[in-house]
Amino acid sequence: MKKMKFLTLLIAVLAVTHLRAQQVSTADMVALLNKVPPPASQLNCALKNASAQPYQTWLEKIEKAGEENQRYQMAFYQKNPMGVQPASKPASRVSAEQQSAMNAATSEFTQKMLSDPAFAQKFAAMSEQEQQTYLAEMLADKGIRPATGAPNVETAPVPGTDVEWAEMCTTYTQSATNLDRWQTQTAIQQRYEQKHQEVRDWEQQAIDRLPMFSYGEYGHDHDPEQVKAVRKQASEKHLALANAMLNELTPLCMAYRKDAQKRMAALTEAFKKVGHGEKYNFGVHYPTVSGAQSMMFQEVYNLLKNEISLMESAAQWCGE
């Protein structure tokens, strides 16, 4: 019999835990970035139109993780439209008859205090213990006895307070939205764009210096073969610059990955320790936690899309 009662209680506890669980995606962006191959430091012009292909598998994984996160958020807000999960309340052990009797006794006592100044003065002069004894006897006359056993109050800790979720999420989101780190890449790209412009200028000047040939009534122009030779030289210069830029940006892209991993590490490990919310209640922190995880997915997605963009930008110099 004791074993059966224990099993019944255990099932009830597990059911409540499941209902109160607040899940987040199990996707690990720190681990994912460890698996993504580094960006190419040199162009493979034979694959110039397939710059995104090596990344496709990883981008799809991130997209699926984001969709999983959105499903959990939607489920939460469907149950909690205001974004706050109501606190659980213990079931009352007071029957309707007892509540009615208690209301009647309270009304009678209040009326007596208001209508009988002598009684009110006498009651006020009683000690706290005497007042409690009087009220207990009055309730007993109405059939209400003092409750026995453990008090019917919520004794469980407030959900989500065992971990500093707000602090960890704020630390991550503030660092993730700091765009200063992109200044180094922007400066490198601007420097190489200036070099490409110098090649364009050289190309135009070289063509302008070529001898002109007359084509009779069709006018005159530079020798097509010589122009072609100049354009080929310019193309080779552009391609060399593109490879030089990739060679310089590849370690920077890897540094961006490491920086993201470092900033995401604490929150990622915290998610693992609570089983990604499968049997855990984040309490009032769930919208913040879920939003921070969504930002992690978006950050990693943007990192990889940035690498694709750099490779595609460089591949334009591969020529036809």
Question: Is the Cβ–Cβ distance between 256 and 36 less than 8 Å?
Answer: no
- What per-residue confidence (pLDDT) applies to 17? 35
Specify the range with the lowest mean pLDDT, choosing from 109-118, 227-236, 273-282, 307-316: 109-118
Question: β-strands 212-214, 220-222: how paired?
Answer: antiparallel
Give residue-wise pLDDT tens across range 53-91.
Answer: 889 999 999 999 999 999 998 888 888 777 666 665 555
Across 137-151, average pLDDT: 67
Q: Distance between CA atoms of 232 and 242, rounded to whole angstroms?
A: 15
- For the CA atoms of 121, 122, 126, 131, the dihedral, rounded to the nearest 10 degrees, stands at -100
Give residue-wise pLDDT tens across range 16-64.
Answer: 333 456 899 999 999 999 999 999 888 888 765 557 788 999 999 999 9
Helix (H) or strand (E) holding 19: helix 2-20
- What per-residue confidence (pLDDT) applies to 158? 80
- For the CA atoms of 73, 79, 85, 86, the dihedral, rounded to the nearest 10 degrees, stands at 180
Residues 6+ apart with CB under 8 A from 35: 58
Q: How many other C-beta atoms are found inside a 10 Å radius of the C-beta of residue 186?
A: 10
Rg (CA), the chain: 37
Res. 203: pLDDT tops 60: yes
